[in-house]
Amino acid sequence: MKSLMKALLSMPPHYRCLCISHLIGWTAFLSNMLFFTDFMGQIVYHGDPYSAHNSTEFLIYQRGVEVGCWGLCINSVFSSLYSYLQKALVPYIGLKGLYFMGYLLFGLGTGVIGLFPNVYSSLVMCTLFGVMSSTLYTVPFNLITAYHREQQEEQRQQARCGGPDGSVRGQGMDCATLTCMVQLAQILVGGGLGLLVNTAGSVVVVVITASAVSLIGCCFVALFVRYMD
Res. 161: pLDDT tops 80: no
pTM of the model: 0.91
For residue 136, the number of C-alpha atoms closer than 13 Å in the C-beta half-sphere is 30
Contacts with 51 (C-beta within 8 Å, 6 or more apart), sequence order:
57, 58, 61
Res. 143: pLDDT tops 70: yes
> How crowded is residue 152: how many other Cβ atoms within 10 Å of its Cβ?
13
End-to-end CA, the chain:
34
> How crowded is residue 164: how many other Cβ atoms within 10 Å of its Cβ?
7
Question: Sorting pLDDT into bands at 50, 70 and 90, what band is 98?
Answer: very high
